[in-house]
Amino acid sequence: MAVIEISDLRKTYKGNTALDGVTLTVEPGEIFGIAGPNGAGKTTLVECASGLRRPDGGRLRVLGLDPHRERRELLERIGAQLQEAALPDAIKVGEALRMYASLYRRPAEWRSLMDEWGLSDRRNARFADLSGGWKQRLFIALALVGDPEVVFLDELTTGLDPDARRTTWGLIRAMRERGVTVVLVTHFMDEAEALCDRIAVVDHGRVVAEGAPGALIAEAGADSLENAYFTLTGRDLS
Ligand SMILES: Nc1ncnc2c1ncn2[C@@H]1O[C@H](COP(=O)(O)OP(=O)(O)OP(=O)(O)O)[C@@H](O)[C@H]1O
Ligand SMILES: [Mg+2]
User: What pLDDT does residue 193 have?
Assistant: 92
Confidence check: pLDDT of 238 > 60: no
**Residue 17 C-alpha to ligand 1 middle, in angstroms?**
9
Which residue has the least CA distance to atom 7 on ligand 1? Answer: 13
Which residue has the least CA distance to atom 6 on ligand 1? Answer: 13
Please write the tens of the pLDDT for every residue from 23-35.
999 999 999 999 9
Confidence check: pLDDT of 19 > 80: yes
Per DSSP (E only), the strands in the chain are: 4-13, 16-26, 31-35, 57-62, 78-81, 150-154, 181-185, 198-203, 206-211
What is the SS3 assignment for 197?
coil
Percent of residues, the chain, with pLDDT higher than 70: 97
For the chain, the structural domain boundaries read 87-148
Ligand 1 contacts (CB < 6 A) are: 13, 16, 18, 36, 38-44, 83
Tell me the average pLDDT across 157-179.
85
Which residue has the least CA distance to atom 5 on ligand 1? Answer: 13
Q: Which residues surround ligand 2, an ion (CB under 5 A)?
A: 42-43, 83
Which residue has the least CA distance to atom 26 on ligand 1? Answer: 38
**Residue 208 C-alpha to ligand 1 middle, in angstroms?**
17
User: What pLDDT does residue 236 have?
Assistant: 63
User: What pLDDT does residue 42 have?
Assistant: 96
Tell me the average pLDDT across 138-166.
88
Which ligand has the nearest atom to the CA of 34? 1
N residues, the chain: 238
Tell me the average pLDDT across 171-181.
88
Measured CA distances, 209 to 37, 42, 225, 230, 234 (Å): 13, 14, 12, 11, 12
CA angle 42, 34, 72 (to 5 degrees): 65
